[in-house]
Structure 1
Amino acid sequence: MRKLFIANRGEIAVRIIRTAREMGIGTVVGISEADRGSLAASAADGFAVLGPAPAPASYLNQEAVIAAALEHGCDAVHPGYGFLSENATFARKVAEAGLIWVGPAAEAIDMMGNKSLARESARRAGVPVLKGTDGPLAPEADALALAREIGYPLVVKASAGGGGRGIRFVHEESELLSTIEMARGEAGAVFGDSTVYLERFVDHARHVEVQILGDGVNFIHLGDRDCSMQRRSQKVIEEAPAPDLPDAVRREIRESSVELARQCGYRGAGTVEFLYDPDRHEAAFIEMNTRIQVEHPITEQITGVDLVREQLLIAYEGAMSVSQEDVAFTGHAIECRINAEDPDNNFFPSPGRLTRLVWPEGEGVRIDSGVDEGSVVTPYYDSMLAKLIVHAPDRAAAIEGTLRALEAIEVEGVKTTIPMHRMLLSRPEFADVAHHSKFIETVPDLLEAP
């Protein structure tokens, strides 16, 4: 009998359990001591306590995860997102233990995890890239000459960076050399890799991305998403398809993303991320995420494809069930990440017990949640309570439906980011697609009612 070990927690663990159960696959979820009473622990067929609450002692403890999977008779490990999902060393250890890794090969994770190498791979695959250095910036390189060729402003990026970390901006030549040295020191301390590269900076850029699937033989895309509404480089609202994107740009990023997957011999779900410059009508590669994304439900809603099911089919059977010809796009979907944070207190985490919790219902409304009424929101992990996903015939209807759904949510016991979502979705800039990835930081009154 197939039995899947889920090396994650919260809403993504519950999400994976749901699809696995529909496929007749048993589930065991790894949890920390703090998550004994979690929804994921009760939803799975079984659970294994990995260690105490701190993530390094539990969810990031590679040996404990593998030992628990083997002890419970599991034959595969799904890492979800975050934690160990893009850790090539862990992927290798899972395979060496005789378990199936639900994700791409460790070599693909390594390649795409190094941002400068990923950039070069993208360039070879015909994916548009921003003007910048070819590979890591060598210590002996003439950085001043290279920067003049790229042009200011530019960005110094850590090769091993990600999630908005390892990035420093340079606005003029006098700042360059000192910034490079600071970036190298920071990258070495945080990522264990001090290599950096230079790249042109795009002001007021939108963040767009393409969902891909591959099984090592066939490679497809499932359209694009826009994740431009961000706060401190963390996505707040996502939508699919990406609005107000020229047809030529949309076609280019979709087709070149598939080619990148093909060149990697990619197996599993992945996302190719781009910056879109609305002034130049150009898109350029940022990075590739070698895992399921937080925002995958909006792609599922507009395509009808269960991405977790495809991940499991590829891992267990070696092939996905859909071809490019099977993929059709219907309507528009919006996702709001609802966190237990206090908007009136600089978005500080708001842990506590959920004394009341009512989710909206209705046609086109979907909730992916890792909590229910009575759950305790702990201070140890990401503060996401749930994702609200609304699918409608067009973007205007999706915005309206999302606002209605947000009004219907009832949460007591903790503060949430719901007021922020209402305000952002009501802004004329969002309706007009005039926002960008730094919009929240650059508009002082943004979170005030329009």
Structure 2
Amino acid sequence: MRRRIVGALAAALVLAATPLSAHAMPVHAMPVHAAPGDPAPGWPTQRTGGAWSAAVSQSGRVHTVAHPVPGEGSEVISLSSTYNGTWPAPTEIPGYGGSVRAGSGAYGIAVSSGPDSFLVSREFVGGQWAAPETIGELDYATSFVTNTDGDAVVVWRAPDGLMAGLHPRGASWTTLPVTGVPDNGYFAATINDAGKVTVVWAEATGATTRAVRRTVLRPGATTWTAPQTLGTVSPAGGAPRIVTDGQGRETITAGDKLWRQQTTTSTPAYAFAVGQDAQLAAGTTDTRVVWPYRNGRYLSVRTRHFAQTSAGEGWGSTTTLWAKSYASGVPLLCRELVNIGVGIAPAGRSYVAFGVVARGGCPRSTLRLVTLDRTSTPLNDVVVSSYGYGTTPEVAVNARGPVAVNFQADGADNGWGDTNYLQFFSR
């Protein structure tokens, strides 16, 4: 159970998140234009045997959570915080897995699985981590997010069903059941700056379809809206994901489709097709979606960007960030899976980390970090690390401070070895 909980909470790092080896070096769809200093090598790389979560606050302070190695007796979560890459002695609390989010100023908040599988949280206020607060009992699977200020929501599977915990910044947690959601399957949550909470999920409706559904908890309300069906997707891949921009409008992906709100109160409408396993990030007026595209021996990473400008708003065209055609002799498992993470600054500049997973004796690849402007033009492209059988990278960025990328680079010890890294880039 503990290993299951660690995995669930590590997967819940949904905020903060790389090139392919000599056997698979990237071929860019367009010239790479220099963006001096953005990003550039930054603070020393951090390493742990468990996993990392990182968040960058509005003021540029970086908060981190280091997980323990499952099953080795070091059942302690380590919390730390810095402005300059010099890390003080961490605050240590009992726990098996956790993640951290940030808000305005230097604010941070962490949620972890504590003793007896209870979710607990700590706030970073006044320059230190405050005393823990218990949220509720965890079975498995969480989605933990904050809005711009730092108001938080965590949605998790408790022993008796799906629960939501609400935490206005500086207040205490309140919890209530999330009604209308089945007992299994993937889900994701978001909270906008007004305090509206939305949960999305996909549930089987037949042998070949899943329905993508959404329910909302309005600010001050204690009951959820009746579930809305946004559309249907195939049963394989593409767990639902949701982000909210600074205008309060949601963008949702599930399966191979994307939906977006036109206003904060409208039902999200289908916009266009994406690939399975698309990743999302939202800024103040911008949203970016990134996904892998596979077609036989051809593999690529594609993106679209939603921008709001004085001339209007809308989605830009699809841009290919990286592409490769593999030789016919390269096994399918060596050209099948791309792990992608994306972060976006409030003003719209994006950072996309990606690497091809090298499984079953495949050549190792590399993890890249590509910087994009609001027109999806690559500004910079740097090698983060050698990359093999790794996890999905996660990218954390804000108005100030570094770009933080956390990832697992080799997985030689079945994912539980000393292979988890947190790397920083200045800008």
Same fold (TM over 0.5): no
Q: Which has the higher contact order (CA 8 A, sep 6+)?
A: 2
| Shorter-chain TM-score range | 0.3 to 0.5
More strand by share: 2
Give the number of the structure whose alpha-carbon radius of gyration is greater.
Answer: 1
More helix by share: 1
